[in-house]
Structure 1
Amino acid sequence: MTSAYEVMQRCAELDRYSAHPSHLERVYLSPEHAAANAAAADWMEKAGMRTWQDAAGNQYGRREGREPGLPALLLGSHLDTVPDAGSYDGMLGVVMAIAVVERIGDRIDDFPFAVEVVGFSDEEGTRFGKALLGSCAASGTWDDDWWTLRDQDGLTLREAFTEFGLDPSRVGDAARTPEELVGYLEAHIEQGPYLEAADASLGYVTSIAGARRFTLSILGEARHAGGTPYERRRDALVGAAEAISAIERLAKASTCIATVGRIEVLPGAVNVIPGRADLSLDLRAESDAERDAMCDVMFDAIRELCGARGLAFQAVETHTAPSMPCASWLTDAIVAGIRSTGDPEPMGLWSRAGHDGMVVGAVTDIGMLFVRCLDGISHHPDEGVREIDVARGLDALETAVLTIAQTRG
């Protein structure tokens, strides 16, 4: 039976499949992607699963239930990484899922459903700038406009598919249907500090954040820095600074998360008053209603402060993703699993980060288990988990699967 220590060792083994010798980077449709799939397939086979790679490069394993061809309870996460990544974001969930199938063993033969494990191929979007490509293919939400996306070397997504040995015309074969699936469970590091602050190993996810992203433009007038008195200035950068402060103030007073991660100033000369400032805004909340209401409040505040300075304000939406609530019946099973580890009052958290479940939810119910991570660090080489937390996570996920089998039986 695969132990927590062995799960962590397998995560370390996956670190070997990196495009760079000095840091971890494993991107979609790369040789490292193929190697990670092969390693996962080997572990799946050792756990008694039949394995295959789908038409979008996602790696699957399956163990039948009480009769062949039943709908499957899907467990998993993703195997790709960001640049300069840690060892656990995504990978831990895949390896834990494989270990749980091994631990349950022949008991699956009596399940009223099959059990599958998936290692999604591209959650992060590092190579082509579009996240969740693997799970979009699996959920039947692939967009043919993506075929022209290019990586930093100019290779299109279509060309990369072909180089990897996949047929772009058959990407639709990766799509799963609601009739094929019972639900989706994912274990993942928290990517935040709340479990650690509560001294809790595990938590359950209530919802995956719905995000909206914008380019905000503050428009003023570029004039000579020395010759223009303050009462005549329409300084776009000062207006942008006030807007950023207002965004932070409003978000901190709410349950939303707002981030300005980029700003560009024009004309950008040391002796010219800025005439234009463009800034990014990433806005997230547990529900779409909360997020959208906060968006309106923020934009009203920015318009007001711009008006006071004689500035104009524009907002262009560049991305939107709906929030994805976790299904109560799957959450109940995860809570039962956490309680089985000795935690009588499991902590519920909404995920501020995105996950494959956001799009898998288009075809089946989802549930998520969070595992405590060191100082809430993620997307960084210092990502860390404790063996005791992984051990409790394995126990909780196993119990959750057994609970679902019992209730559905």
Structure 2
Amino acid sequence: MGKLQPAKNLQINHDRLEKRLRSLAKIGQIEETGVCRLALSKEDKEAVLQVEQWMKEAGLSTRIDSFGNLIGQWKGEDDTQPILLVGSHIDSQPYGGQFDGTIGVLGAIEAVQTMREQGFQPEKTIEVIAFSDEEGCRFDKGLFGSRGILSQLEEGELDRQDVEGITRRQALLDFGCNLDEMEQDVYPEGRIGSFLEMHIEQGPILDRLNQPVGLVTGISGPLWLTVELKGFAGHAGSVPMSYRQDALVAAAEIITKLRELATEDPNAPTVATVGKIESFPNSRNIIPEHVRFTIDLRDIDMERRRRIEKKLFEAMDEICERHQVSKTIRIDTESDARYCATEIMDDIRAAGKALFTEPLPEMMSGPFHDALAMSSICDYGMIFVRCKDGISHNPKESARYDDISLGTELLYRTMLLRSGAKKE
């Protein structure tokens, strides 16, 4: 495959898009290039208000709903048709980068603004959305805003607490949301016809191919667990090894087993991560009594993922029994792999054919996105933009503005096709 080269000049405004991305990156900035903009925080609210202003500049009517989503609307000629929803998120990880999610929101705004400037009018209504709390790191449950508008929130989600003991309910209220309007903010069945999302790849494939953009064919199925082990504390100097109920040792064995299971097939794209672990009482000379840790298991092959999951649960039973520790396991997220709609992929390919001299590279997404939630109720499609070395969820996350502009141009041309836009 040759390197993608634009066949014609871009219609979108590169300078305007880059300026907005740089400006947004300053809100919650950490280190030289990183961002900490946790969902429903004051930094998130500042960012939402700034993005809302850009939506208005693009000619969109705006609202912030009861889930914390920012939504901009452009009514089409026939508003009775199912809408085209486009967007992503602007919240970040606590130690995150400046392009994760943001290019999908600002790129969608730029696409709409370009459509207006070029004299187009969509047949279908277009809504641009910045979803609330995609990341899930503050309350240990992601895709909140996208699941909220689909009436897919689970019991007790508003009672989840962050590390400071603040509930999601309180955070939403502090954000200015009216929780009494949640039911009316759910989109009626059939209202959303299709969903488009542009995102940095968060992986190395495009970078290794030396390609600026790519077509996503589907999203791997994630399984998120929170595991709590309860042993018995004792003096580290006096309790014999054979008498111990050490919760941290049991956790270490489970974590090691998880990695072993995820690497059984070296050619499989299975990934497994323990990204968070807490030990109590967390003292040098006390045997750990209580350990809590997270598990993130993902695969595009659901049969393989479920096989690994079964083996993991069996191993946890055996390890906990051997160490005489009890366990509780909470499922935080569980979803099957979701494949992009053929019709939307064909539209992205057609837009790419008109823009580039070579066909788009195609790939699956390991990370999940708001598109994963949306896929449960409508067709969806995704565009990936190259990120350097595949680094993401890290202040060193980096993407070229030229690549983002190419991705936005591809998004713009796809939106013209999906919305039935015509020159006024």
Matched, 1:318 2:331: yes
Matched, 1:397 2:411: yes
Corresponding residue for 1:88? 99
Matched, 1:295 2:309: yes
CA distance in structure 1 between the partners assigned to 2:150 and 2:138 by the alignment: 21
Preserved contact between residue 144 and residue 153 of structure 2 (Cα < 8 Å): yes
Preserved contact between residue 75 and residue 117 of structure 1 (Cα < 8 Å): yes
Preserved contact between residue 236 and residue 274 of structure 1 (Cα < 8 Å): no
Among 19, 42, 67, the residue aligned to 1:9: 19
Please state how far the C-alpha of 1:296 moved relative to its aligned partner: 3.5
What per-residue deviation string (whole Å, max 9, x for no partner) do you get for residues 46-66 of structure 1?
A: 222222222222111111222
The change in CA–CA distance for 1:402 and 1:303 in structure 2 (over 3 A counts) is same
The change in CA–CA distance for 1:151 and 1:385 in structure 2 (over 3 A counts) is same
Matched, 1:157 2:171: no
Please state how far the C-alpha of 1:371 moved relative to its aligned partner: 0.4
Structure 1 segments, 4+ long, off by >3 Å, are 19-23, 67-70, 213-219, 222-230, 234-242, 260-281, 296-304, 309-317, 405-408
Pairing 1:258-277 to 2, within 5 Å after superposition: 258-261=272-275
Please state how far the C-alpha of 1:91 moved relative to its aligned partner: 0.8
CA distance in structure 2 between the partners assigned to 1:311 and 1:227 by the alignment: 14
Preserved contact between residue 230 and residue 290 of structure 2 (Cα < 8 Å): yes
Q: Which moved more, 1:275-284 or 1:382-391?
A: 275-284
The change in CA–CA distance for 1:315 and 1:344 in structure 2 (over 3 A counts) is farther
CA distance in structure 1 between the partners assigned to 2:153 and 2:293 by the alignment: 29
- After TM superposition, the score normalised by the length of structure 2 is 0.80
Please state how far the C-alpha of 1:196 moved relative to its aligned partner: 0.5
Preserved contact between residue 178 and residue 364 of structure 1 (Cα < 8 Å): no
Greater helix fraction, Structure 1 or Structure 2: 1
CA distance in structure 2 between the partners assigned to 1:330 and 1:229 by the alignment: 60
Amino acid at match of 2:342: S
Among 368, 371, 374, the residue aligned to 1:357: 371
Please state how far the C-alpha of 1:120 moved relative to its aligned partner: 1.0
Q: Which moved more, 1:325-334 or 1:272-281?
A: 272-281
Amino acid at match of 1:35: E
CA distance in structure 1 between the partners assigned to 2:177 and 2:291 by the alignment: 43
Among 148, 172, 176, the residue aligned to 2:187: 176
Please state how far the C-alpha of 1:88 moved relative to its aligned partner: 0.7
Gaps of 5+ in 1: none
Q: Which moved more, 1:14-23 or 1:165-174?
A: 14-23
| C-alpha RMSD over aligned residues | 3.8
Q: Which moved more, 1:380-389 or 1:309-318?
A: 309-318
CA distance in structure 2 between the partners assigned to 1:297 and 1:357 by the alignment: 29
Amino acid at match of 1:369: I
Corresponding residue for 1:246? 260
Please state how far the C-alpha of 1:287 moved relative to its aligned partner: 4.0
Preserved contact between residue 138 and residue 360 of structure 1 (Cα < 8 Å): no
Amino acid at match of 1:257: V
Preserved contact between residue 284 and residue 291 of structure 1 (Cα < 8 Å): yes
What per-residue deviation string (whole Å, max 9, x for no partner) do you get for residues 258-300 of structure 1?
A: 2244567899999999999986532111143331133345567
The change in CA–CA distance for 1:27 and 1:394 in structure 2 (over 3 A counts) is same
Among 68, 77, 85, the residue aligned to 1:66: 77
The change in CA–CA distance for 1:216 and 1:180 in structure 2 (over 3 A counts) is same
Q: Greater RCO between the two (CA within 8 Å, min separation 6)?
A: 2
- After TM superposition, the score normalised by the length of structure 1 is 0.83
Corresponding residue for 1:195? 206
Gaps of 5+ in 2: 1-10
CA distance in structure 2 between the partners assigned to 1:265 and 1:340 by the alignment: 56
